[in-house]
């Protein structure tokens, strides 16, 4: 049964991780260590972290899909590849003991954080980025990657990639 100290460690860090994830991505790099610092077993920590990130990603993907920011065929192919990769990774992870998994995470998490925070333009280039649907704007792009909005426009994706660029003819 969790103690008050575990809640005191986990709750603020999970809030912070969710906030960072919603704005820029990479919140799991905060939440996963929070679970481990609180003393949860490695497998429980990773599973809980993946569950929360999957829910957030599913909701965001659904919203982008409804607003026309996702290329359906390519995205479905990517999703199927991700499911296969996650099943393989989960099976490998279940065969590792906590004694092996914790040191691996001590190496993998900082390297992943370094990679994520140094390459925020993964898969994007200036010429590939398409503007959001709606009337063209003469205003400079917002530092928060949101398009100027009215009641009829929607926010632009924070990063443009081959799956999330608007599916419009060029």
Q: What was the pLDDT predicted at 170?
A: 45
Q: What was the pLDDT predicted at 123?
A: 52
Tokens of 127: 């010429």
Q: What share of the chain is helix, strand, coil (3-state, %, to 5)?
A: 60, 0, 40
pLDDT above 90: residue 20: no
Q: Which residue has the higher pLDDT, 91 or 159?
A: 91
Distance CA 43, CA 62 (A): 28
pLDDT above 70: residue 45: yes
The Cα diameter of the chain in Å comes to: 57
Q: What was the pLDDT predicted at 142?
A: 47
pTM: 0.62
Distance CA 155, CA 146 (A): 5
pLDDT above 70: residue 8: yes
3-state SS, residue 35: helix
Convert the pLDDT of each residue in 60-117 to its tens digit.
Answer: 888 888 998 888 889 889 989 999 998 998 899 889 998 998 888 889 888 988 887 7
Q: Which residue has the higher pLDDT, 150 or 163?
A: 163
Residues 144/159, Cβ–Cβ less than 8 Å = no
Convert the pLDDT of each residue in 54-64 to its tens digit.
Answer: 888 888 888 88
What percent of the chain shows pLDDT beyond 90?
10
Q: What was the pLDDT predicted at 126?
A: 47
3-state SS string for 94-119: HCCCHHHHHHHHHHHHHHHHHHHHHC
Burial degree of 163 (CB within 10 A; 0-12, 13-18, 19+): buried
Distance CA 158, CA 142 (A): 10
Convert the pLDDT of each residue in 24-43 to its tens digit.
Answer: 778 888 899 998 888 889 99
What does the buried/exposed string (b/e) look like for 32-48 if buried means 16 or more CB atoms within 10 Å of the residue's CB?
bbbbbebebebeebbeb
| C-beta atoms surrounding 146 within 10 Å | 15
Mean pLDDT score, 109-136: 65
């Amino acid at each position: 049964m969790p103690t008050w100290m575990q809640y005191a460690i986990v709750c603020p860090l999970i809030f912070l991780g969710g906030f960072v994830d919603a704005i820029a991505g990479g919140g799991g790099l905060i939440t996963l260590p929070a679970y481990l610092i609180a003393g949860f077993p490695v497998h429980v920590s990773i599973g809980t972290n993946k569950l929360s990130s999957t829910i957030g990603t599913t909701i965001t993907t659904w919203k982008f899909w409804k607003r026309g920011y996702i290329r359906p065929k390519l995205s479905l192919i990517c999703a199927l590849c991700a499911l296969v990769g996650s099943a393989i990774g989960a099976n490998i992870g279940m065969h590792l003991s906590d004694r092996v998994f914790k040191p691996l995470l001590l190496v993998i998490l900082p390297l992943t954080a370094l990679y994520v925070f140094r390459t925020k333009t993964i898969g994007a280039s200036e010429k590939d980025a398409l503007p959001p649907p709606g009337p063209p704007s003469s205003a400079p792009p917002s530092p928060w990657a949101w398009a100027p909005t009215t009641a009829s426009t929607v926010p632009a994706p924070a990063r443009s990639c081959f799956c999330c660029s608007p599916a419009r003819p060029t």
